[in-house]
Amino acid sequence: MSPTRPLILLPPSGKRQVTVMDFIYAQKLEEALDALRSQAGRAKVLAGGTDLMIQIARGEKQPQALIFIGQLKDDLATISLSQDGYLNIGALVTHRQICADRHIQANYPALATASASVGGWQTQSVGTLAGNICNASPAADTIPPLLVHEAVVTVQSAARGLRDVLLEHFITGRRQIAIENDEMVVGITLAPPPADTADAYLKVGRRKAMEVAIAGLAMRLTMAGPETVGELRVATCATGPVSRRASEVEALFSGQKLTNELVTQGASLLGRMIQPIDDTRASAEYRKLVIPKLFRGAVLECLAKLGIAISGLEKS
Amino acid sequence: MKINLKVNGILEEVEVDASAVLLDVLRDKLHLTGTKEGCREGECGACTVLIDGQPVDSCLYSAAAAANAEIETVEGISANGLSAIQKAMVEEGGIQCGFCTPGIVMTLTALLRQNADPTPQDVAVALNGNICRCTGYSRIVSATLKAAKNAMAQKAGDAHA
C-alpha cells in the first residue's frame, strides 16, 4: 500500500468579496463633476487604477461608486504648452506619455526620469501623473521633481469651478491631499524653467527597475555665474511622511559660490533634517546615510547637464 | 453590472462586479486561463495583457474600465499557431517553469510592434515589469532579438518577392 500523499494546502485566495455599488462612465468632464457632487464623498475617481484597484481589493478604500474618467481623453490626456511657456499636463496623462514627451525631456528631465521609474511598463501604460499625486504616497517618485519645479495643481468642481493649488499645499500628509469631496484634479502646470537651469532625480532602490523608492531626491539648480548659484531647490521622497522642499538647505546655496565644502555642508544638513522611518525597504539610519550621497550626486548631475566643471567638486 | 468586453477581437457580454479586475473576468468568466495570476498586486507582470496595444497588469485593471477597449491575451496572439516571439522563445530556451511566459510574451509583442529593431537594452527596459525567477532573462532577450531579426528578414524577402 502506498503511503498517503500529504495534502497540498493552498493558501487562501487573494480575491476578496468587495462590492462597489456603482460604476459610472463619465462621457464628459461635466458628468464626472456632477457625479462627484451627487455622490458627496462616497465616490472615487478612477483613471488607470493602478493604486486604487489594489486599495479596494485590500479593503483599504471602500467607495460606494467609481467614476471612470478614462473616456475623457480628449479633454484630459493632453500635454499642452501655452504661449508664455507654461506646460499643462492633463489629469489622464500617463507616465508613459510623460517619459516620451520631448518638451518634458528637454525642460523637466527629472520628471521624465521619475515617471520612467514608477513601476514597470504595465504601470506606466495606464498610471497617471495626477494619480501619483493624489495617492500621495511618501515614496511617490514624481512628487519631488514636481515640487522643485513648483508645480501647480488645478482642481475643478461643479459648484465652484476651477481652483489652483501649489503642489506643496495640495499634499497635506501621508496619503492626504487638500481636495474637497466634489472636486477632482484636472491638470498640473509647470512654469518654464529660467535660463542656466538643470534638474535631476536620483533614486535608491534594491534593484534598478520596478522598485518603490528607498529614498529619492530631486534637485533644480539655477546658476547665476560660472561658479555662483542663483537658486538651488531640493526635495526628497521616502524620507518622511510627506515629500517637502528642504528650505534650510536651499537657503545655504542662494547667491553663494559653489564649492566642495558648501555641497558637503548642504548634504550633511539635509541628512540631519529628514525624518525617515524604518520599514521593510530600509532602515531610517540607511536613509539618513544615503540622502547626502544623492544630494551630492544631484549637484554633479546638474552641473554636468549645464556643462560646468568646478574644481575640487567631485564624487565623495 | 453587464459590460461588453472585446477580447481578441470577439465581443463578449459578461456580468461583473463593479470592483472586479480584468484578470478574474478573463480567467473565471471567459475561461482564458493563459493569463496567469502571480502576485496580484502589480509587481510581477504574469497577468500582462494588452489594452489598446499597451501592456497592462490585468490584476489591477478594472474590468469595467476595459469595456470599449481592444483587449489582447496570449490566446489571441497564438490563435493561428505560435507567433514569431513565441517560436523564438521556444527555440532560444527562453522558458523554464513557464509561469511568467504568457506575460512576457505579451509585453514583448507590444515591444516588437512599437520597435521592430530593439537593442538588448530596449528589451531589458521593456521587461522591467515582468519578473522571471528561472531564466536570468538572457535567453529571453536573445529570443526577442531573434524574433525581430526574423521579422525584418521576412519583410525584406516579401519586398523582393
More confident call, A11 vs A249: A249
Q: Which of A228, A198, A188, A170 is nearest to A86 (CA)?
A: A188
Residues in chain B within 8 Å Cβ distance of A92? none
- Minimum CA–CA partner of A48 in chain B: B61
* pLDDT at A22 exceeding the cut of 50: yes
* pLDDT at A316 exceeding the cut of 70: no
Q: Do B61 and A49 touch (CB under 8 A)?
A: yes
pLDDT of residue A98: 98
- Residues B130-143: pLDDT tens digits? 999 999 999 999 99
Grid coordinates given for A120: 514597470
Count of CB pairs separated by less than 8 Å, A with B = 95
Cα–Cα distances in angstroms (integers) from residue A294 to residues A203, A209, A280, A300, in the given order = 8, 18, 21, 10
Q: Flag whether residue A123 sits within 8 Å of chain B, measured between CB atoms.
A: yes
d(CA A120, CA B24): 21
pLDDT bucket at B158, cuts 50 / 70 / 90: confident
d(CA A222, CA A196): 6
Q: Flag whether residue B17 sits within 8 Å of chain A, measured between CB atoms.
A: yes
- Residues A42-72: pLDDT tens digits? 999 999 999 999 999 999 999 999 999 999 9
Q: Are B57 and A50 in contact (CB under 8 A)?
A: yes
Q: Is B12 buried (19+), middle (13-18) or exposed (0-12) by CB count in 10 A?
A: middle
More confident call, A20 vs B5: B5
Residue B43 is nearest to which of A23, A208, A210, comparing CB atoms?
Answer: A210
- Residues A285-306: pLDDT tens digits? 999 999 999 999 999 999 999 9
Residues in chain A within 8 Å Cβ distance of B131? 210
Q: Which fold has domain B84-160?
A: DNA polymerase; domain 1 (1.10.150)
- Minimum CA–CA partner of A207 in chain B: B128
Residues in chain A within 8 Å Cβ distance of B41? 54
Q: Flag whether residue A296 sits within 8 Å of chain B, measured between CB atoms.
A: no
Residue B55 is nearest to which of A46, A48, A121, comparing CB atoms?
Answer: A121
- Residues A109-154: pLDDT tens digits? 999 999 999 999 999 999 999 999 999 999 999 999 999 999 999 9
- Residues A64-81: pLDDT tens digits? 999 999 999 999 999 999
Q: What is the mean pLDDT of chain B?
A: 96
- What φ, ψ does residue A90 adopt, rounded to 5°? -65, 160
pLDDT bucket at A16, cuts 50 / 70 / 90: low
- Residues A152-203: pLDDT tens digits? 999 999 999 999 999 999 999 999 999 999 999 999 999 999 999 999 999 9
Q: Flag whether residue A50 sits within 8 Å of chain B, measured between CB atoms.
A: yes
The C-alpha angle with vertex B73 and arms to B68 and B78, in degrees rounded to 5, equals: 130
Grid coordinates given for B61: 485593471
Residue B129 is nearest to which of A21, A56, A210, comparing CB atoms?
Answer: A210
Q: Flag whether residue A53 sits within 8 Å of chain B, measured between CB atoms.
A: yes
Query: What domains lie within chain A, and their CATH numbers?
Result: 22-68 (3.30.43.10), 74-190 (3.30.465.10), 197-306 (3.30.390.50)
pLDDT of residue A314: 74
Lowest mean pLDDT among A19-23, A78-82, B127-131: A19-23
Domain range summary for chain B, segments of one domain joined by +: 2-77, 84-160
* pLDDT at A2 exceeding the cut of 80: no
pLDDT bucket at A208, cuts 50 / 70 / 90: low
Q: Which fold has domain B2-77?
A: Ubiquitin-like (UB roll) (3.10.20)
Q: Flag whether residue B130 sits within 8 Å of chain A, measured between CB atoms.
A: yes
Residue B57 is nearest to which of A15, A68, A122, comparing CB atoms?
Answer: A122
Residues in chain A within 8 Å Cβ distance of B61? 48-50, 53, 126
Q: Do B42 and A119 touch (CB under 8 A)?
A: yes
* pLDDT at A1 exceeding the cut of 50: no
pLDDT bucket at A210, cuts 50 / 70 / 90: low
Residue B10 bridge partners (DSSP): B7
pLDDT of residue A202: 96
**Strand, coil or helix: what is B114?**
helix
* Residue B160 CA neighbour count, 13 Å, CB half: 5
> Considering just the CA atoms, what is the radius of gyration of chain A in Å?
22
* pLDDT at A3 exceeding the cut of 90: no
- Residues A77-103: pLDDT tens digits? 999 999 999 999 999 999 999 999 999
Q: Which of residues 174-213 of A touch B (CB under 8 A)?
A: 208-210
Q: Do B64 and A22 touch (CB under 8 A)?
A: no
pLDDT of residue A248: 97
Q: What percent of chain B has pLDDT over 90?
A: 94
Q: Flag whether residue B144 sits within 8 Å of chain A, measured between CB atoms.
A: no
| ipTM for the whole complex | 0.95
Residue B42 is nearest to which of A14, A54, A68, comparing CB atoms?
Answer: A54
Q: Flag whether residue A62 sits within 8 Å of chain B, measured between CB atoms.
A: no
Q: What is the mean pLDDT of residues B92-112?
A: 98
